[in-house]
Chain A
Amino acid sequence: MRPFRRRRDGQIAVNLNDAGRDFVRHVFREIVAAEYDDDGVIHPVIYARITPGLDHDDPTRLFERQQEVSSVAQRALQTCDDDLLNDSDAWAWLRTIQVALRSHAFGRDIRTAQDYQQVEGDLRVYLESLQYLAWGLARALSS
């Protein structure tokens, strides 16, 4: 069964068991908390340079990004027990999962396909779970 499916009424049905719900709740909480965790694996990605050619980034843009990531993750967290998502909520899930996916890869120096091929164990399972959920949401949103 697909994890997410577009229904005839336009809503997206969430087909996750308790373990799946716990997993996404953990992911969403991690991104919400990342705003205050300077040393965490998520932080460097959320605070990556925007315009490296300049001496410093525009503070307004930095604030805009911080607010955007945080508010989207909080929205995802608020809906993580819902059985049906509208498109806006489904995008909040997808965006938060995608930020988590890339942050964990980036934070462990997984920059190339060759790097990724060498990943094993729990990290591999974690990244593949995030990929599966991101892909499932994208597929449901595009249908």
Chain B
Amino acid sequence: MTTITSPHIDTVVDHQLDKVWKVIVLDDPVTPMLVVTMVFQKVFGYPKEKAEFLMLTVHHEGRAIVWSGERERAEHFCVALHSHGLLATVEQED
């Protein structure tokens, strides 16, 4: 009879995955406001009112957190915003 012992396996936990990641859109002086609103509606599926509120936040504050959640989806949204010509980045929440 053979005794099978389970090997000791070290696991590395990536704590970055536990944290919330934010998609941030930054203001630029050339993009029409209507375009920003429409891109938010299209990329995130936000209703017009929310998209307009976020657009105005970007316009007045210089930046706005437009989405937060897991890193992979945040980066996916950021890529979508880039490919629609908006200035966006992903940051980890403190």
Contacts and interface: CB of A to CB of B under 8 A. Distances in A.
Contacts of A101: 30-31, 85
A64 B91 contact: no
A99 B83 contact: yes
A51 B84 contact: no
B50 interface: no
A1 B2 CA distance: 86
Chain A: interface secondary structure?
helix
Interface residues of A, number: 43
B29 A111 contact: yes
23 contacts: A48-B87, A49-B89, A50-B75, A51-B78, A51-B90, A53-B90, A58-B75, A61-B79, A64-B76, A64-B79, A65-B79, A68-B83, A98-B39, A102-B28, A102-B31, A102-B85, A105-B28, A105-B29, A106-B28, A134-B32, A134-B35, A135-B34, A139-B34
Interface of A: 45-46, 48-53, 57-58, 61, 64-65, 68-69, 72, 91, 94-95, 97-103, 105-106, 110-113, 115-116, 127, 130-131, 134-135, 138-139, 141-142
